[in-house]
Structure 1
Amino acid sequence: MVPEHEILLLGIRNLALTCGEQRLIDNRAKAMYKEFGLRTLAISIVNSRHLAGEKKIVFGQHLTAICLPSRVIGLPMAILRLCCLAQRSLAANTPNAIIVSGSFLLTLVPILRRMVPGIVILWDVHGVAEELIEGSGFSIKSLIARRMVYRFQKHIEKALGPTVDGCIVVSRKMAQYVSRETGLSNSIVLPCGVDFDEWPLFLQYDTIRKTVRQELELGDGPVFVYSGSMAPWQCFAESVRLFRAYQAIDSSSKLVVLTRDTQVAQRIISEERLAPASVVIKTVRSHDVPRYLIAADVGLLLRKPNVTNLVAAPNKFGEYMAAGLLIITGRELGDYSDLLADGNLGIVLDSKQISQPTTAVLELIRECLQEEDPSKRQLRRKLAEEQLDWRRLVSSMNVRSQNVKTP
């Protein structure tokens, strides 16, 4: 039986595990439900490393997901299976709009047009094809394969991107990228926001900080936090290196790492020769993340200059801001580097400073920490509420789009 829904999302997205992709789609669907009463049915292909068999996940009234496992080599068959399920869904329930999430599924747009003439189809752009080839450490065989997939993906985007009614992007720079690469200029800017219904009030922050710091035995010194995966482009090794350098001038500082990839995190920490006593590594459920962020002082969000980061809008930026943290990031982080620099709310480093933190950078961090007070934390929280609250973002869709009507 097909669940009733107003939005049909067809994706190649990891909805089976707690991660940035899952949180973005879940939170966005939740905001659409709260603001407009729109329910989402997602049919998504998931890497078989994360999912053994086909699985239905009910996130709540706002979102039901049907996850289809597939290896990379089996992707064409998985897309065919997804298409069959979409056809069955559309026969039982005509939604207000279809969201295609993932470039390879743009190949379904002509089929969907024939299935439901006149339906609004939006392309959900989370990342860019350059993710496949940026970075280092690839074998020659892997790099050749990645370049082939990269070229194929770029061809699909250029050929089929203009056939949709508009695209959903996470930053203004992403909108510019899509327009430049595909000619599609009709964009809705929806950055990765924060669901403040799941966050405590700012008045509770002091109590939470004390409780969590006691729980983790963090002491009274500065606490740096890294929240995310161990993907090379997220610069965890560089984050550890920066913390280790800072700890040399302030031995009371501690590092908290929130990640599912605990073994990789342990290996990198060992390689960087960071004392285990100064680090806490935890895997926490998504709704517990706010507590651990609030206990920290500095949010590490280092990024290097490449296309992937230039158009990005990481979930953790909004979460760090909501927690009131002093954010340290790179100069090329989507729209956010400018936001931090203009508001004097964080520290923006260039690529050389990220790779090799200088004494001047370390002293700047210490100076900023000495100037921190509850009013600055509250200011960051307020800014996050004003610019990154999911419900506000969704309610402004008509304003941020040019011709696309809110489904």
Structure 2
Amino acid sequence: MIQRVRAIDSLVEDYSRKYISTSYRRNWKKVSEKHGVVTVHRVNFFLHWFFIFKLILAAKCVYVHSVFNVVFALPAYLLRKKIVTDVHGAVPEETHAQGKSVRALIRSLAERVASYRSTALVCVTQRMADHLARKYPNSAPPLILPIFNTELARREGESLDMPRNIPPTMIYAGGLQIWQNIEKMLEFAVINKKYKYLFLTPDSDSLRARALKYGDIDADFFSCPHSQVAEYYRAADFGFLLRDDNIINNVACPTKAIEYMAYGVIPVVLNMGIGDFEALGASFLLLSEMGDPPDAAEVSAMRRKNFYCLERLVEQYHNGSAELMSLLV
């Protein structure tokens, strides 16, 4: 969420604005900090609800980041203020998948309120907008705004025809959360010896120990700051992006996929249903197809399609940003 908040904030950096950071269990003492044209209020929902209410009443427009925060801003929805809700994904479904049924119900109700009472719903993908439209017919209009480092898509295409590694290199860069399907990567690596494997993760020692249980894998395990990941991407051919086929992933826009494509790394997936990538012309590879690596001509053609997809995403970003600014200021 922090990346999304920063991205939206950068659009309005020259305008006076106030942030409310609200908690049920913390911020017993209200703290207000002013940084130039930005004021940040850290408050407790129960102790400072009247203060929150006054800020909402005085606001020209209210921007709510995620369904998680809809309850905190409930007066804005009930009073029909100009309110923009940044949906941040399929929150009720994600909460239910975590086994938190009561919270999932509450967040489902919050999502319904936001869908029918918002001025606009900001979505990272068209599939997210379509998902909400199916759940809540005749709800608020969607605004498609993918958030990513647009500078990535302005690279000069040096990755298009870069030399192939022998053997081809398969990379993974990210955490070890269960939904990343790390075990599937290791299972693939121990069977498929035609690739060299590179794993970049904050807990590289833990992953190295897990890999030993699978036998002999030609792999390197590293930890590095995100600022250094690019040099490893430049040395890779393919990248693991093993998201399960469910609504949570189907409506998402993973930053990892965009980073892979920007550096000429072909994403390797379990299914083609991740976000809007297929609709935007991206070219991914199924893990089940990777027994034999594609030849250099195929890889070059896929990179070209992926660069075109990035161009379309940047265009979508600029159009969405302009539309959002017309609502906010």
TM-score by length of 1: 0.64
Distance 1:400-1:159 versus aligned 2 partners, 3 A rule: same
8 Å CA contact retained: 2:64, 2:70: yes
8 Å CA contact retained: 1:310, 1:334: yes
Question: Among 300, 305, 326, which residue is 2:245 paired with?
Answer: 305
SS in 2 for 1:224: strand
Question: Among 350, 374, 396, which residue is 2:319 paired with?
Answer: 396
Q: Distance in 1 between matches of 2:242 and 2:136?
A: 29
SS in 2 for 1:168: strand
Corresponding residue for residue 347 of structure 1:
285
Quick one: which amino acid aligns to residue 116 of structure 2? P
Q: Distance in 1 between matches of 2:272 and 2:152?
A: 31
Quick one: which amino acid aligns to residue 189 of structure 1? I
Corresponding residue for residue 303 of structure 2:
377
Question: Among 100, 107, 112, which residue is 2:64 paired with?
Answer: 100
Does residue 387 of the first structure (1) align with residue 312 of the second (2)? Answer: yes
Quick one: which amino acid aligns to residue 381 of structure 1? F
SS in 1 for 2:240: strand
Q: Distance in 2 between matches of 1:265 and 1:197?
A: 28
Corresponding residue for residue 115 of structure 2:
161
Distance 1:303-1:175 versus aligned 2 partners, 3 A rule: same
Distance 1:374-1:335 versus aligned 2 partners, 3 A rule: closer
Does residue 406 of the first structure (1) align with residue 312 of the second (2)? Answer: no
Equivalent residues in 2 for 1:148-187, closer than 5 Å: 148-183=102-137, 184-187=139-142
Instruction: Tell me the CA shift for residue 87 of structure 1.
Output: 6.0
Q: Distance in 2 between matches of 1:55 and 1:272?
A: 53
TM-score by length of 2: 0.77
Q: CA RMSD in A?
A: 4.1
Aligned residues: 319
Distance 1:159-1:288 versus aligned 2 partners, 3 A rule: same
Quick one: which amino acid aligns to residue 186 of structure 1? P
Does residue 284 of the first structure (1) align with residue 225 of the second (2)? Answer: yes
Q: Distance in 1 between matches of 2:41 and 2:221?
A: 33
- Structure that is richer in helix per residue: 1
Uncovered stretches (5+) of structure 1, i.e. residues with no partner: 1-20, 49-53, 69-76, 136-142, 211-218, 354-360
Question: Among 255, 267, 273, which residue is 1:315 paired with?
Answer: 255
8 Å CA contact retained: 2:203, 2:223: no
Corresponding residue for residue 4 of structure 2:
24
Question: Among 362, 383, 386, which residue is 2:290 paired with?
Answer: 362
8 Å CA contact retained: 1:226, 1:256: yes
Equivalent residues in 2 for 1:238-249, closer than 5 Å: 238-247=184-193
Does residue 258 of the first structure (1) align with residue 200 of the second (2)? Answer: yes
Does residue 196 of the first structure (1) align with residue 151 of the second (2)? Answer: yes
8 Å CA contact retained: 2:152, 2:259: no
SS in 2 for 1:202: coil
Question: Among 89, 92, 113, which residue is 1:127 paired with?
Answer: 89
User: Identity of counterpart residues, as a percentage?
Assistant: 17
1:350-398 Cα offsets, whole Å, 9 max, x none, are: xxx4xxxxxxx233x51x24435656535533431x1223xx4343128
Q: Single out whichever of 186-195 and 320-329 deviates more from structure 2.
A: 186-195
Instruction: Tell me the CA shift for residue 84 of structure 1.
Output: 7.0
Quick one: which amino acid aligns to residue 309 of structure 2? L
